[in-house]
Chains A and B, each alone.
Chain A
């Protein structure tokens, strides 16, 4: 589908709030499919990783042993779709003992107060 077909001139601030860990449930994978499609619609796309959502972008995922699709490389491909606004909540990382260097993609790490303000500024919030 071409960008022209989809752009009606309306640009909204979309946010995908990722709060679930990968593999245990399908939500992380299918959210990513939504994110990729939204790139075709010329919307202002934001991804937030909070709570267990931060586990989605943990480095070194290897799913061979569980025979499930490793979809984590897709996060690294997002910038190819001009999706570059990735935000991770610092408190969520700290609570889980995860460092910024454990993450597989460049993200902006913001504190909970900044996350609150960011979420509050959105036009459409999608969660899975």
Chain B
């Protein structure tokens, strides 16, 4: 009954069905939550803010705080200046954040509100107390996707706050991309293993994976601090993880503060983690710690032990471009066949990159940027797969076609664990590999006739 997808693919130009993306502002909210003492502020109608908070809460099962300019019909005619000005007074009086991160919405963008002017006027009027910081980014929802919104907010923090004092530090910057709090914790562990001092921006660990303490912390204890963001301008290098989510901020750090960067993939899977570890080794000038070599060895061991269950399995991968690129490469390296690869976000570079990864193993894979899950479903009807790899939204396809789904990426609305157990690094990749193998083996057990139902797999 849930399956109302015809298998014939007809051209659609005006219509998205079952999107594989959402709008920019939610990315700006997620990024801002990774800064300590920061209140994300949505300059638009209050529904936007309610939706972003609800959706992030559904994914993280955590309180998500953000304020809104609460646009009315009047503001849509006369502009939102009065709303934002009033908002600053309310916010600092009521919630007292260290920093307010304003992002725009489609409404305020079309109206043409000039945020920097409103901020400086509010400061002149004393609505922004001394020592408090306000930053902003532009995130119209008719441009880009939630990933570019994340990127814009990270860039906004750098633009407003990072400074070069002329005295380089020994620290490095890590722009982790749109990953889970668990992933950020894991990346910090890996960097620390090389003895490298670092700043990560944003850092949602201890924010969106907060423990139950019996109290509600309006501003949880985690997050990148203002002095840390400021000092990013003095770092000796930036590792930008995930081109779509991180490269803009990395580039800005280089052009304004002279901090060189390396554009890396999200360290998910063997090859991508190897490249990340190699970058860390180069920066630290030390050997790769034995402990990390062992973690790599275990990942390789499990993949080779289980090769017979992975080899030749067809997989459909969808979600955010940075994730999808890393996952495609990982699946390829595990001898799986990513036959359908799709993202909702924009960018021809995505298609080029995926085709490049699959050039030898699956040269005729279906690859699409700006796709939607309706199209993915149609592809699958025409060429079935053994596994779906992506967000919760794939569960409808999984049910209709009876295909197992391994949940990875954002959002995951119907399971827990992602915020606590990483997908990055060798350990995180091992966890993901185990989930993939388990899904395949579960299916094999379920479908095996009695005579072929085996105790040992």
Chains A and B come from one and the same complex: no
- B positions within 8 Å CB-CB of A: none
- A positions within 8 Å CB-CB of B: none
